[in-house]
């Protein structure tokens, strides 16, 4: 390995990125997607999906850029998307006319109405779109919408398999919903089930059960809904149903079961800090925030304390270097150079955040500070176009959803 740059001890990986962004970057806060690392994560996911004999559905809210989604979809060989937001859904239908789209949460019926009012292009909602619904009351609203539009809606029923965030949790309610679908075949079509179970891989306290025990309960609940449907509503059942499950923290454990037809993965492909989980141990971080240093002002100097601030830097050597960065106060953790931290006494800023470290950090003005987002879906939308890099070089610029 080459030595770190003088005055910017990043290590080789971030040293390359720093040079590239200083030479060719926008010199503002930007999201960097490492395609080499992303490729690794895609391949890890697909190996698991293939071992389990399932399909992969990409979670669009966690990968909120058409270019990023298209890149992953091509490498993974999937056209299945999960959408969570009506404006994004309209974009998906226009930009991915061959996609199979499943809603990831029940939307107010007015949102669905707005989708149809705005929809254009070759995407056929009657064949390619599944609305996720959770209660008989909401299903009745969607039925009225379908009747008003003179169309047929595909209905996927949300199951509460243990997350307890809504969804069907007993056969009585499930029977009401399936009965309503059965009674209106010209306007409603049963498309399958969705059972989201991220808690299986998120590391709940052991006293609440091991991941395997939690997973077994998830699958018992899911199997119970399937058995009930096949027994009491056999005409609705067929091999082409979407039996969706999992999430990034739990997708791998579903290699054990043959009930579900597909798993959903999104954030795990980028691995922000909240996904540093044992279940994703084979994944590598593939997303960073990079932002330039605007000012380097020496030892910390707090308003009103003035010269007395020297006592702080005397006491703590990690306050002997002060940098003001472009932007700040993001849902993110400092990654490189090591040893940086925000200053809670000075206060957080989304404009020019104070960042402190020891003199050994050695950053200069316009050097880049790198952070890892804690999550992806909202953070990736805050920086404009994503910069895709390969081998430390910028190779693509991808707009995000608006």
pLDDT: which is higher, 10 or 14: 14
Assign domain 35-270 one CATH number from 3.30.1330.10, 3.90.550.10, 3.50.50.60, 3.20.20.10: 3.20.20.10
pLDDT in tens, 67-78: 999 999 999 999
Straight-line distance from the first to the last Cα atom of the chain, in angstroms, rounded to the nearest whole number: 41
pLDDT in tens, 252-278: 999 999 999 999 999 999 999 999 999
pLDDT in tens, 382-396: 999 999 999 999 999
Read off the pLDDT band of 297 (50, 70, 90).
Answer: confident
* 158 within 8 A of 134, measured Cβ to Cβ: yes
Residues of the chain with CATH 3.20.20.10: 35-270
Q: What is the DSSP string of 296-310?
A: EEES---TTTGGGGH
* Residue 108, C-beta contacts closer than 8 angstroms, at least 6 positions apart: none
Q: What's the average model confidence in pLDDT over 278-304?
A: 85
Give backbone dihedrals phi and psi of 323, rounded to 5 degrees, phi first: -130, 145
State residue 110's pLDDT score.
98
Q: Give the lowest-confidence range in 200-209, 226-235, 384-393.
A: 200-209
Q: What's the average model confidence in pLDDT over 94-111?
A: 98
CATH number of the domain at 12-32+284-398, please? 2.40.37.20
State residue 5's pLDDT score.
38
Segment holding 42, helix H or strand E: helix 35-51
Q: What's the average model confidence in pLDDT over 270-297?
A: 96
pLDDT in tens, 145-167: 999 999 999 999 999 998 889 99
* 137 within 8 A of 177, measured Cβ to Cβ: no
Q: What is the DSSP string of 228-268?
A: HHHHH-GGG--TT-EEEE--TTTGGGGGG-SS-SEEEESGG
Structure-derived torsion over alpha carbons of residues 153, 257, 161, 62, reported in degrees to the nearest 10: -70
Residues of the chain with CATH 2.40.37.20: 12-32+284-398
């Amino acid at each position: 390995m080459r030595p770190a740059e003088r005055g910017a001890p990043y290590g080789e990986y971030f040293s390359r990125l720093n040079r590239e962004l200083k030479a060719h970057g926008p010199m503002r806060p930007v999201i960097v997607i490492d395609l080499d690392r992303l490729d690794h994560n895609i391949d890890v996911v697909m190996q698991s999906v293939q071992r389990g004999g399932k399909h992969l559905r990409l979670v669009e809210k966690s990968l909120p850029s058409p270019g990023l989604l298209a890149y992953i979809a091509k490498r993974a060989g999937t056209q299945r998307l999960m959408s969570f937001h009506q404006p994004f859904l309209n974009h998906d239908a226009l930009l991915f006319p061959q996609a199979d789209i499943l809603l990831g949460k029940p939307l107010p019926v007015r949102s669905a109405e707005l989708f149809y009012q705005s929809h254009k292009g070759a995407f056929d909602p009657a064949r390619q779109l599944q609305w996720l619904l959770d209660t008989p009351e909401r299903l009745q609203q969607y039925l009225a919408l379908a009747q008003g539009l003179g169309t047929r809606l595909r209905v996927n029923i949300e199951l509460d398999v243990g997350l307890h965030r809504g969804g069907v949790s007993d056969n009585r309610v499930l029977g009401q919903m399936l009965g309503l679908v059965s009674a209106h075949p010209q306007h409603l079509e049963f498309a399958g089930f969705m059972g989201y179970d991220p808690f299986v891989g998120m590391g709940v306290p052991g006293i609440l059960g091991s991941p395997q025990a939690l997973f077994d309960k998830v699958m018992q609940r899911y199997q119970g809904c399937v058995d009930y449907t096949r027994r009491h509503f056999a005409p609705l059942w067929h091999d082409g149903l979407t039996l969706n499950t999992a999430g990034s923290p739990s997708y791998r454990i579903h290699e054990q079961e043959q009930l579900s037809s597909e798993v959903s993965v999104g954030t795990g492909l980028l691995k922000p800090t909240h996904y540093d989980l044992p279940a994703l141990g084979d994944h590598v971080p593939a997303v960073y925030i990079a932002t330039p240093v605007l000012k380097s002002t020496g030892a910390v100097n707090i308003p009103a304390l003035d010269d007395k601030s020297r006592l702080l830097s005397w006491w703590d050597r990690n306050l002997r270097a002060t940098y003001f960065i472009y932007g700040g106060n993001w849902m993110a953790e400092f990654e490189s150079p090591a040893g940086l931290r925000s200053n809670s006494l000075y206060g957080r800023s989304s404009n020019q955040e104070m960042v402190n470290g020891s003199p050994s950090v050695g950053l200069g003005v316009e050097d880049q500070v790198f952070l890892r987002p804690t999550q992806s879906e909202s953070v990736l939308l805050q920086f404009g176009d994503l910069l895709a890099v390969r081998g430390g070089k910028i190779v693509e610029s991808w707009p995000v959803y608006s």
